[in-house]
Amino acid sequence: MPKSKTPPSRQANTPQTDAATARTEVCLSLIAQLGTLRQSMLDREAAMRDELAQVCAAYGESARNLVHYLTLRSGDLRPIQEKLSWLGLSSLGRSESHVLANLDKVLGVLHRLTDQPWQDQSADEPAGSVRSHQLLVDHANQLLGKPPHGHPVRIMVTLPTEAAHDLGVARELIDAGMDIARINCAHGSPEEWKSMATHVRQAAHAVGRKVRILMDLGGPKIRTGEVAARPAVLRLRPQRDEYGRAFSPARLGMVAVDQNHDVPAANAVIGVSRDWLGRLKVGAQIDFSDARGAKRHMLVVQSDAQSAIAEILQTAYITPDTLLTIHGAEGKKKSSTIACAIGQMPGVLHLHRGDVLRLTKGGLGQPAAAEEDSDDAFNTTAHISCTLPQVIDQVHEGERIWFDNGRIGGVVQRTCPQWLEVGITQAREGGEKLAADKGINLPDSTLDLPALTDKDIADLVTVACEADMVGLSFVHQPEDVHQLRDQLHRLGRDDIGIVLKIETLQGFENLPELMLAAMAGTSAGVMIARGDLAVECGYERLAEVQEEILRCAEAAHMPVIWATRTKNAPLCARCTPGVAPGRHPGDRQGLQIAVQCPISCFLKESLHDTPRHAGPAPHPAQRRGGQEPFA
């Protein structure tokens, strides 16, 4: 007979102990430890009596289970789990949806193994495994609507602007499988949002389906301000093959300077004098010296009374000072004109690792200037403003800062009343360009910003009339949720579902409190904004952070919206970065998921490729797989 393993609580080199005695010792130790843990759960529940009293009755059991889960995760359980595994018992690793019930079952088994009486404790338990699964399904159906054909996964689509003007867009999306329509209130107008919602309802009614509508509030967007425009320069660039040989010419459209005429077949359009335009004939050659002094030639391939198009097989730079000259068949100069109506290029800052950037409370952004070119020491450093100037007062030295979805990173080196001095630490070799209206992330900073802006409060009037759910962007603290609920109550929409958009580390760290605040309503959910979270926490931590959110949502019996996919590529079940290896959120049987598809030029293909489970969601008791130790 093989020898029994030495229990984890004893040294490997101790004398051989009777297996039954060793098992009893481990069981008694676990009974004491788990009993203490159980009492801690009840004590924390009692301490949070006031907060739990604010929760809607439909979420009462779920809120209590969430509190028990938070107690479970507050300490390091790995030593206890090791002992439970040695005994062949549940190691509490998958008990999120019914924490106290699972703990009591383990305690009951331990008491029987030690021949001790065990009294039923189900009166203390908010929900068992069967009840917790039903609560999750009920809450998901209340917020997201019933899924089609019993699938646990719904498909949410961000509506493009075209959906406001074309009923056919909504019809195509619904036919392709859209279950929830998302309207982003950061773009467009209330009139467009109303039209989108009307089209979705009309298209859904036509096919006998119900499609929910989520309207996302814009929230306090922290973005870069305007940058001084660059000189007016138009670059003409033909397409080249891998050997650098031009195989498709650049096409320049020309119109009379005093008229506004579109030239769709051209890559760019400039203005010229009306008389000169009238002299252009197909086959004519136009010569000029570009902004670099390079000699260039274009061939007129199309001409009519309103416009002309010329092609060029060389790269050229045209400015408002460029002189264009027509040559005849014999090479004799015929006529000349000055290029006009060339708009200024949008301003950008060129940043490299080691550069210094100043983030200011206001003013026009400027690139760095050589000291001899400026009498103002401030202007020798590249600077750009922040759209929320109050942020400057809330950031401290040593904190990280990211620009443009993480493309440019830095560390705050110095703080002043009017600006922050940022040392650039992350940029591609060769540098990066920072333009206006690019996102700013401050993952280390504790920001005191209202989740509802004045614009959001005004937009809620339309949201209250059209939406089934409202997305609270950049939510950080429970007060943000309370403020939203107060505004919805004022508008007579206490019934509207609230979706917590977790986009920052601060929101992630306060998630349990945010969930409890959202449970004061009849329906609530969580959206994992993976793109913003990846910038805030780093792509290397995204899987870990996402898993923590999913666990918390499972404990709260709360549905999750998994915001994912890329904008300019077809969706593919294999291409979902940021998920723990082998783990798609839909693989968690204790969750109800809505997968969000953004606006995409591959939208219909994306909808067809977005995975759904082949059948109904299995009961949590049917789970298989290894146990994961708690962090």
pLDDT tens, 42-88? 999 999 999 999 999 999 999 999 999 999 999 888 999 999 999 99
Q: Which pLDDT score is estimated for 120? A: 83
For the cut 60, the answer to whether the pLDDT of residue 270 exceeds it is yes
Residue keyed to tokens 């390091």 = 76
Per domain, the residue ranges of the chain are 19-127, 136-220+449-619, 234-338, 348-441
For the cut 50, the answer to whether the pLDDT of residue 630 exceeds it is no
Q: Which pLDDT score is estimated for 627? A: 35
Decide: 511 and 553 in contact? Cβ < 8 Å. Answer: no
Decide: 111 and 117 in contact? Cβ < 8 Å. Answer: yes
Q: How far, in Å, CA of 251 to CA of 237, rounded?
A: 9
Q: Which pLDDT score is estimated for 92? A: 86
Digit-coded pLDDT (tens) for 452-462? 999 999 999 99
For the cut 80, the answer to whether the pLDDT of residue 328 exceeds it is no
Residue 321 burial (10 A CB sphere; 0-12, 13-18, 19+): exposed
Strands 356-360 and 419-426, bridge-based pairing: antiparallel
CATH code linked to domain 136-220+449-619: 3.20.20.60
Q: Which pLDDT score is estimated for 148? A: 75
**Fold agreement (234-338, 348-441):** yes
Among 176-185, 353-362, 490-499, 614-623, the minimum mean pLDDT is found in 614-623
Mean pLDDT of 378-387: 85
Residue keyed to tokens 């992630």 = 508
Fold of the domain built from segment(s) 348-441: M1 Pyruvate Kinase; Domain 3 (2.40.33)
DSSP string, 323-377: EEEEE-TTS-EEEEEE-B--PPBPPEEEE-TT-EEEEESSS-BB----GGG-S-G
Mean pLDDT of 16-28: 79
Q: Which pLDDT score is estimated for 294? A: 96
Decide: 217 and 470 in contact? Cβ < 8 Å. Answer: yes
Question: With bands split at pLDDT 50, 70 and 90, how would you rate the model's confidence at 196?
Answer: very high
DSSP SS3 for 234: strand
Strands 323-327 and 316-318, bridge-based pairing: unpaired
For the cut 60, the answer to whether the pLDDT of residue 560 exceeds it is yes
CATH code linked to domain 234-338: 2.40.33
Residue whose C-alpha is closest to residue 290's, from 260, 267, 266, 270: 270
For the cut 90, the answer to whether the pLDDT of residue 262 exceeds it is no
Q: Which pLDDT score is estimated for 624? A: 36
For the entire predicted model, the pTM comes to 0.78
Q: Which pLDDT score is estimated for 538? A: 86
Q: Which pLDDT score is estimated for 625? A: 37
Q: Which pLDDT score is estimated for 611? A: 53
Q: How far, in Å, CA of 258 to CA of 277, rounded?
A: 12
Digit-coded pLDDT (tens) for 118-143? 988 888 888 888 899 999 999 999 99
For the cut 50, the answer to whether the pLDDT of residue 112 exceeds it is yes
Contact partners, residue 500, CB within 8 Å, separation at least 6: 472, 475, 481, 507, 511, 514, 515, 518, 524, 525, 526, 527
